[in-house]
């Protein structure tokens, strides 16, 4: 069965484009699109799941959720974004494929819910390319493109208090490379062009702190609810050190116009959620995320085109009980989700909203090991006010391995 799963994954990747091409023009603003999760599991459930703790999953959104992990786990994932983009006059399709993170977790004490975890996950993504043609007496093309993003390395732990409250904390290190280019080409000339490249290299430390409440299912007078919990997390970035570089290129040469150091102030992210489990098989989660991007600053200067971002998410998961004798198909975990997001983008006094529907499943490779797939379809933006409408298909594929390590021998 393992060979079958690996073959299926290779065939799936072979069918995807072997190039990475630009996506949303909205990522010109701020630090680009926000990445709420790197996981195929959470992609299939609406991307959040702050209060959900799973023994077979490393949730990078809330470190308190690791307390149930009872095996050493290694997870990594990739994703493919396909975008159908249109305005009032043109339309096109663009795609990109990216590595979306790696994480590890080590259970230390099941009794106290102590699990240590570390990993590397994306925080934001910039990827766009825009081209305009002008038919003047001397025709010319103007193009804008950008790439890069912000990434996060984290290391932290969880701890379960005696009365059931679970706490978690991360040490986070943020770093990135944001590149913005603008270029003009004169059509009737083979040598006349001009290009400006603006580079930002932010880096700095922060922290993520979270909790998951005790199980309140005993307070509900019904036998069908087996678990009911709340959870929340806060990610603090603060002021990141910023290296800047402005380069000019033309047919006459290359010149470094300006270089320096400054600060990038990224607002904190707050998430809160609740989940309930019915009949030990069916999980429903409801989440809310908020990040005040109106407070984003570069060198204490407010950046245009940004507003406060918020996201609502509803997720569902069917998890079969692990009983002896069940077949391969009876072990599949199924997921679905809905979400609504008021993105951080505000253009021409028009807020850019996103509506998403998602689904996915986990295929068992062996006990505790799965191949996870998540698919999300989103609609973002509008053609009103000369803006851009985007229909986005995101395919996320991940692998989660779990094994027993560091077993104490008895003599």
Residue with tokens 């973002």: 380
Range of the domain at 311: 2-403
Cα 220 from Cα 285, distance rounded (Å):
17
- 28 occurs within a structural domain: yes
- Residue of 166, 161, 151, 165 lying closest to 62 (CA atoms): 166
**Of residues 9 and 140, which shows the higher confidence score?**
140
Q: What are the tokens at 198? A: 């603006």
Give the percent of the chain with pLDDT over 90. 44
What spatial distance separates the first Cα and last Cα of the chain, rounded to whole Å?
Answer: 37
The three-class DSSP label of residue 12 is helix
- 61 occurs within a structural domain: yes
**Of residues 404 and 86, which shows the higher confidence score?**
86
Whether the pLDDT of residue 7 is over 70: the answer is no
Predicted confidence (pLDDT) per residue in 27-82, tens digit: 888 899 999 988 888 899 988 889 998 888 898 899 999 999 988 999 988 888 88
What is the band of 231 on the pLDDT scale with cuts at 50, 70, 90? very high
Residue with tokens 């995807």: 16
Whether the pLDDT of residue 195 is over 90: the answer is no
Own/partner long-range contacts of 190-193 (Cβ < 8 Å, ≥24 apart): 191/251, 192/251, 193/249, 193/250, 193/251
Q: What are the tokens at 359? A: 């689904």
- 191 occurs within a structural domain: yes
- Residue of 370, 336, 356, 376 lying closest to 80 (CA atoms): 376
Give the model's pLDDT for residue 153: 94
Predicted confidence (pLDDT) per residue in 375-401, tens digit: 999 999 888 777 888 999 999 999 988
CATH of the domain at 397: 2.40.160.60
- 273 occurs within a structural domain: yes
The three-class DSSP label of residue 321 is coil
Whether the pLDDT of residue 20 is over 80: the answer is no
- 117 occurs within a structural domain: yes
- 408 occurs within a structural domain: no
Angle at 310 between CA 304 and CA 313, to 5 degrees: 150
Give the model's pLDDT for residue 260: 83
The three-class DSSP label of residue 376 is strand
Mean pLDDT across 218-247: 88
Cα 64 from Cα 233, distance rounded (Å):
9
Burial profile 225-246: b = 16 or more Cβ within 10 angstroms, e = fewer: bbebbebbbebebeebebebee
- 409 occurs within a structural domain: no
- 411 occurs within a structural domain: no
Q: In the chain, how long is the greatest CA-to-CA distance?
A: 90
Mean pLDDT across 88-100: 80
Q: How many domains does the chain have?
A: 1
What is the band of 14 on the pLDDT scale with cuts at 50, 70, 90? very low
């Amino acid at each position: 069965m393992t060979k079958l799963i690996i073959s299926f994954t290779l065939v799936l990747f072979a069918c995807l484009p072997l190039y990475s091409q630009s996506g949303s023009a909205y990522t010109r603003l701020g630090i680009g699109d926000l990445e709420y999760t790197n996981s195929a599991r959470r992609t299939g459930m609406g991307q959040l799941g702050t209060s959900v703790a799973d023994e077979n999953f490393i949730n990078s959104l809330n470190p308190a959720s690791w307390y149930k992990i009872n095996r050493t786990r290694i997870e990594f994932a990739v994703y493919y974004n396909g975008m159908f983009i249109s305005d009032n006059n043109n339309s096109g399709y663009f795609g990109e494929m990216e590595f979306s993170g790696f994480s590890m977790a080590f259970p230390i004490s099941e009794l106290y819910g102590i699990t240590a975890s570390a990993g590397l996950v994306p925080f934001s993504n910039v990827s766009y390319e825009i081209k305009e043609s002008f038919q003047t007496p001397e025709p010319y093309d103007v193009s804008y493109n950008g790439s890069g993003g912000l990434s996060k390395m984290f290391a932290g732990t969880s701890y379960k208090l005696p009365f059931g409250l679970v706490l978690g904390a991360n040490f986070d290190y943020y770093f990135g490379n944001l590149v913005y280019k603008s270029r003009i080409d004169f059509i009737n000339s083979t040598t006349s062009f001009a290009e400006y490249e603006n580079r930002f290299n932010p880096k700095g430390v922060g922290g993520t702190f979270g909790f998951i409440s005790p199980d309140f299912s005993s307070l509900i007078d019904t036998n069908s609810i087996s678990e009911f919990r709340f959870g929340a997390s806060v990610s603090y970035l603060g002021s990141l050190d910023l290296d800047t570089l402005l380069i000019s290129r033309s047919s006459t040469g290359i010149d470094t116009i300006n270089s320096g150091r400054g600060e990038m102030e990224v607002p904190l992210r707050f998430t809160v959620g609740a989940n309930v489990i019915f009949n030990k098989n069916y999980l429903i989660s409801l989440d809310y995320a908020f990040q005040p991007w109106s407070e984003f600053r570069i060198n204490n200067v407010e950046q245009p085109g940004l507003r406060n971002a918020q996201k609502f998410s509803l997720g569902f998961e069917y998890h079969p009980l692990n009983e002896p004798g069940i077949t391969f198909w009876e072990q599949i975990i199924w997921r679905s989700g809905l979400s609504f997001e008021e993105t951080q983008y505000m253009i021409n006094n028009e807020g850019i909203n996103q509506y998403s529907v998602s689904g996915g499943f986990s295929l068992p490779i062996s006990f505790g090991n799965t191949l996870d797939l998540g698919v999300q379809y989103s609609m973002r933006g509008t053609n009103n006010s000369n803006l851009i409408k985007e229909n986005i298909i995101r395919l996320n594929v991940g692998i989660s391995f779990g094994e027993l390590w560091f077993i104490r021998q008895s003599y």
